[in-house]
Amino acid sequence: MSALEWLAATALMTAVFWVPYVLERMVALGVLGALKPVDPEDEAKQSLWARRAKRAHYNGVENLVVFATLVLVAFAMGKGDEPGILAASQVYFWARLVHFPAGAFGLPGIRTLAFLAGFGAQIAVALRIFS
């Protein structure tokens, strides 16, 4: 797979991270309750893992914006086919795949290491761009 394919796979994976916590919301509040706007009282009725999963999803979206921008800039500059960009894209994918469940299930050490691996991938792409 190319770096762009890894990026697309990461985007797709991030796009489905909402599913577990929304399904849990339906169980906790009922289908109709899950359809209404979120308020703090309803959110408090959800399990702790679901609230953490929502935060992990938001973190994934926030970081994907940075990583995707860097990879796309590298490709626009003609540097996207460099081996370092491919490796960073692979590391980023796996780091985010580990980060989400580690965040959802409250494994702070693993979550932090996965976050740092993803951040390292961002820095690796940035260094390729500016070198």
CA geometry: angle 36, 39, 43, nearest 5 deg: 100
> How does residue 37 score in pLDDT terms, banded at 50, 70 and 90?
confident
Q: Which two tokens stand for residue 116?
A: 């740092």
Q: For CA atoms 32, 35, 36, 39, give the dihedral sign.
A: positive
Q: What is the pLDDT of residues 92-103, one digit of tens each?
A: 999 999 999 999
pLDDT over 90 at 44, yes or no: no
Q: Which two tokens stand for residue 72?
A: 């796309």
| pTM for this predicted structure | 0.93
Say what the pLDDT of residue 36 is. 86
Domain chopping of the chain, boundaries: 3-16+48-129
> How does residue 38 score in pLDDT terms, banded at 50, 70 and 90?
confident
What value does the mean pLDDT take over residues 26-40? 87
Angstrom CA distances, 84 to 79, 80, 90, 99, stand at: 9, 9, 10, 22
